[in-house]
């Protein structure tokens, strides 16, 4: 159901519980492991779809003037996770060597009362930490965006938020884009542009 655990997560939880109950059987605390009777939901294989060249061009056209354009372009051309693109820092971009390094992420805590964002200096797993060639189109987008950030900073003066200065994906006031905002904004963009 919506908001519940995925079949993969359920299997992982069942495995941990089963191991604990096996230990209880071994220590003669219970006669048998009740986990052996649990029926697991089938694993659902994710089928990804990709935009074709025309769809990508239409997407970029629809984003003209939108503050999310750099974020979406980087995501589309590198296939990054939302958490990875939000975690991109200026210190991860080497314009001289033309390298972009994916090594940080931004996620959102979904506790009922605390929907704060978490800044993590590590990726989802070891293979997610990677260096990629900085494509000329992305280098151009980033240079223009950095200039725009400097203009916003100058225009806002002391009101500009400096807590996220090294992060790339910030709004006009310097506040880091929240993961749920990115998702909601993108859905709205798709809906408004057919």
101 in Cβ contact with 87 (< 8 Å): no
Count of H-run helices and E-run strands, the chain: 6, 5
Question: What are the angstrom distances between the C-alpha of 105 and each of 81, 89, 147, 149, 167?
Answer: 9, 10, 23, 20, 10
- The whole-model pTM stands at 0.70
* Average pLDDT over every residue of 36-60: 87
Is the per-residue pLDDT at 127 higher than 60? no
* Average pLDDT over every residue of 154-169: 92
Rounded CA gap, 118 and 116, in Å? 7
State the pLDDT at residue 114.
61
């Amino acid at each position: 159901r919506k908001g519940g655990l995925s079949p993969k997560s359920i299997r992982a939880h069942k495995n941990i519980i089963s191991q604990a109950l096996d230990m209880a059987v071994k220590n003669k605390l219970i006669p048998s492991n009740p986990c052996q009777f649990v029926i697991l939901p089938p694993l659902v294989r994710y089928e990804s779809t990709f935009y074709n060249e025309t769809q990508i061009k239409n997407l970029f056209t629809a984003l003209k003037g939108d503050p999310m354009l750099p974020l979406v372009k980087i995501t589309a051309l590198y296939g990054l996770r939302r958490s990875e693109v939000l975690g991109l820092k200026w210190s991860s971009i080497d314009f001289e060597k033309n390298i972009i390094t994916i090594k940080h992420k931004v996620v959102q805590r979904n506790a009922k009362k605390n929907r704060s964002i978490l800044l993590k200096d590590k990726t989802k797993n070891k293979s997610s930490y990677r260096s990629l060639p900085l494509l000329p189109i992305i280098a151009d987008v980033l240079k223009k965006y950095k200039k725009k950030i400097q203009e916003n900073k100058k225009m806002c003066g002391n009101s500009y938020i400096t807590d996220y200065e090294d992060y790339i994906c910030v709004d006009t006031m310097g506040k880091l884009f929240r993961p749920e905002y990115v998702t909601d904004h993108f859905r709205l963009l798709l809906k408004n542009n057919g």
